[in-house]
Structure formats: structure tokens, C-alpha cells
Amino acid sequence: MSILYQLIFILILGVAGYILSKRIKFLRRNILLGKAEVRNDQPALRWKTMGLVALGQQKMFKRVVPAFLHLLIYVGFLVINLEVLEFVLDGILGTHRLFAPYLGGLYSAAMNMFEFLAVGVLVSCFAFLIRRNVTKVPRLNKPELKGWPAMDANVILVIEIVLMFAILKMNAADQILAERGVGHYVLVGPLFFSGLFHPIFEGFSDTFLIFVERAAWWFHIIGILAFAIYVTYSKHLHIFLAFPNTWYSNLKPKGEMQNMPEVTNEVNMMLGIPAENAAESPAEIGRFGAKDVNDLSWINVLNAYSCTECGRCTAECPANITGKKLSPRKIMMDVRDRADEVGKSIDAGGPGFDDGKSLLGDYITKEELNACTSCNACVEACPVNIDPLSIILQMRRYVAMEESGTPAQWNAMFQNMETSFSPWKFSPSDRFNWAENVKDEEVK
């Protein structure tokens, strides 16, 4: 590879790195639009959760077929990137197959493994395209996926298919040139899958094969860099965020609702119970519950950016199954979209959160929030431990405590809970009268 090509490659690498760093800063700032929250307890359990759920794909295997296909793509992504490391070093140093002389026969075995995984990725991507566009799996064809989300999923799958074909074509042309003893090309041993392309290329001249090999090499490395940038705009950002997202999982028992400490302390003081941190001045309560992204915690926003849009949460949601408008997947997509909108406004010198919009109302309706049964089915179903219910409960808390906008039946129940300590409107002293009636019936 000439000095000019090395300089061009380094320039492309630098531009891609610059764009990627800007996107990472943008996403980090957007995530930190949420309120501060510390969640680093039980580190051993958090490492275990991250290993099993993010790395080990534990929750994916509740559905074996898509889980196996996803595993092929996932392992392929991790392992094939080792070959990309060689591409990058070759581009910077002006070498060709830098590791081949040092690894000997092991290099040939590694290349065959890479090609096997590349074919596995091809098969899986074709299968996922069929599931999305031909058989139309219901959870992949919900209203919230219309337009860009559906296109994004298909674009990623097509890109992965093209990149895998580029690897196989590059290896086929490369090995034919090595067998002919052309230039710097290194014979690395028989490669099974790219070898299937040999009959197609053997009749071509050395010049054409060099063009094919170089074009495939440049296409693959530029494609990988472009893919890395594109992922930051895509639902496939979960490839990277699944790891911190599972680390910050809520380890408390499902169904345990998080109280507002300020309100809890006030109630305790009214009841004569010593409040926590009584020596400190009480924190000022800016808002009960959540109306916009900045009322949520940064972990809630991280959840939104980690969403894979797989729809397992929505498929398990009893409200959605019965025809209600609630879709936990849409809740997460809406939080992410609102954070993006505010972030872009801030970067453009705009009003940010003071744009006259809010997450509640402009993105998520009260009808959606009220449909939630708080059953935690969505939390249990998520393959990367996202917690849509936390966001729903915080927004319902705002509607109830700030707007008094809950349905009349709910308000009556809340009042009964406050005065009678039960959802029913009768005195606590009469609560067990029904038991006396049962006893009388037994006597009769």
C-alpha cells in the first residue's frame, strides 16, 4: 500500500473518529439531562447481571429461534471485529495481512472461523428480513414502528449482509492472487467459504482481481467506520449501551414502588416518626413526579437510549394485548425522541426544555399512562433490563399530584385510602364485618 493510500486511510479514520466523538458527547449530554441518581450497590450482583444478561444474552433465550439467530449476529460482530483490527493496522502501517506471518496455521484457522461467522451473520440477517417483511411477526409491525424505525431495522440488516459479502469476495480474490504469486499477497491456506467464490473469479486477470480485492477492502473498512457512526443514530446503539444499562439494573424486587424521600419524610414528621437525615434542611421539592425528561433520572434516559425496539415488552403487556393504546416500547422511544429534540435545541442555541412542549401530552398521553396495570410484565420481558414501568409511574404521579388529572374513580379510591385506609368507603372498624356474616352462615 502506497504512502498516499496510508495518508488517505488515516484521514478517513480521523474524520470518522471526530464525528463519532461528537455523537458520543451528544448522547452522553442527553442522557445526563435526567436527574442525578446513584445506583452502585451490590457490585458483585451487578457484574453478574451484566455478564449474564448483556454478554450472555440470558433473557433472549425465552424465544429460542430468534435468540439463536441473534446470537450468531452478536458473536459474529464481536469476533469479526478482531479482523477489523488487522484492517486498521494494515491501513495505518501500509502492510497486508499483518498477523499472518506471526500466527502461521493459526491464522488460517482464525480466518475460517471468521468466514463461518460471516456466513452465520448472512443467514441470520436474511431470516430477520423475512420475519420483518414477509411473515410480519406482530410485535415487529406495531404502529410505533412505522416509518423510520422500520426502515432503520432493514437498513442495518442490509448493511450487515453487504459487509459480510465484501469479506468473502475480498478473501476469494486475495487467495487467488496469492496462489498466482502476485505482489505482496500472502497464501494463508484453504478458506472454505470464500473458496466457493473461486470458480467465479479464476478466469479474471490479475489487474481485475486486485481491483476487486482492494475495492472490497476499502468498502469493508469504510463501511465499518460508517456503521459505527450510523449506530449512534439507530436503535442498534444497544450494542454498546446494553452493558452499562444492565449494570444499572433495578435490583429491588419487582413491584416495589420507589417513594419520594421528601414526601416520606414529611409524612413521618406529621406522624411523629423521626425523619431520615433530620439534621439536614429539607430538600426543596421542584415537582411531584415527571412531566418531562429532566424530571426523570438519568438512568431512565439511559434505558431509553438502550432500547432495542424488539417489542418483547409490548408483546407481553396485558393492556396492549387487550387493545389499549399503551405500548411500553413506544414509551421508551418517546423518551429518547424527546431527549434528542431537547439536545438538538440546546446545541442550536434554542430554548431547550422551554420550547412549549413536554414529554407528557406532546409525546405520551394520559390514556397510555392510565392503561398500565403496573404488572411488571414489560420489565420482566426486556432482554436488556429496561424498566418502562418506572417512567410510567413517575408520569402518573405527576398527573395525580400536580394536575389532579386522574380519573374520577381513581380519585375516589385515593380518598378512601386516605380516610378509611382501604379502597372501599367504610370505616376501618367495619372492615371485618363480612367475617361475622360468614361465621353466622356456618352456624346455620
Residue 35 gets which letter from DSSP? B
Report the distance separating Cα 25 and Cα 31, nearest Å. 10
Listed in sequence order, the DSSP H helices in 180-254 are 192-195, 198-201, 206-231, 238-247
- Average predicted confidence (pLDDT) for the chain: 89
pLDDT computed for residue 49 by the predictor: 95
Query: Under a CB-based contact definition with an 8 Å cutoff, are residues 303 and 321 in contact?
Result: no
Given a cut of 80, is residue 396 above it in pLDDT?
Answer: yes
Grid cell 451528544 — which residue? Answer: 26
Report the distance separating Cα 110 and Cα 79, nearest Å. 10
Given a cut of 60, is residue 444 above it in pLDDT?
Answer: no
What mean pLDDT is predicted for residues 287-298? Answer: 92
Report the distance separating Cα 21 and Cα 19, nearest Å. 5
* Largest Cα–Cα separation, the chain: 104
Label residue 275 by pLDDT band (50, 70, 90): low
Query: Which range has highest mean pLDDT (16-20, 68-72, 223-227, 261-265)?
Result: 16-20
What mean pLDDT is predicted for residues 16-30? Answer: 95
pLDDT tens digit string along 238-273? Answer: 989 999 999 999 998 888 878 877 777 777 777 778
Label residue 276 by pLDDT band (50, 70, 90): low
pLDDT computed for residue 283 by the predictor: 52
Report the distance separating Cα 192 and Cα 172, nearest Å. 10
Per cent of the chain over pLDDT 90 is 59
What mean pLDDT is predicted for residues 55-81? Answer: 86
What mean pLDDT is predicted for residues 128-136? Answer: 93
What single-letter amino acid sits at 153?
A
What mean pLDDT is predicted for residues 318-331? Answer: 95
Grid cell 444499562 — which residue? Answer: 245
Report the distance separating Cα 110 and Cα 96, nearest Å. 16
Report the distance separating Cα 348 and Cα 322, nearest Å. 42
Report the distance separating Cα 310 and Cα 381, nearest Å. 10
Report the distance separating Cα 270 and Cα 98, nearest Å. 73
pLDDT computed for residue 293 by the predictor: 96
Given a cut of 60, is residue 107 above it in pLDDT?
Answer: yes
Which of 190, 203, 188, 197 lies closest to 169, judged by CA?
Answer: 197
What's the chain's length in residues? 444
pLDDT computed for residue 84 by the predictor: 84
Report the distance separating Cα 146 and Cα 154, nearest Å. 12
Query: Under a CB-based contact definition with an 8 Å cutoff, are residues 98 and 90 in contact?
Result: yes
CA 398 to chain centre: 26
pLDDT computed for residue 256 by the predictor: 80
Report the distance separating Cα 426 and Cα 18, nearest Å. 67
Query: Which range has highest mean pLDDT (194-203, 355-364, 423-432)?
Result: 355-364
Given a cut of 60, is residue 41 above it in pLDDT?
Answer: yes
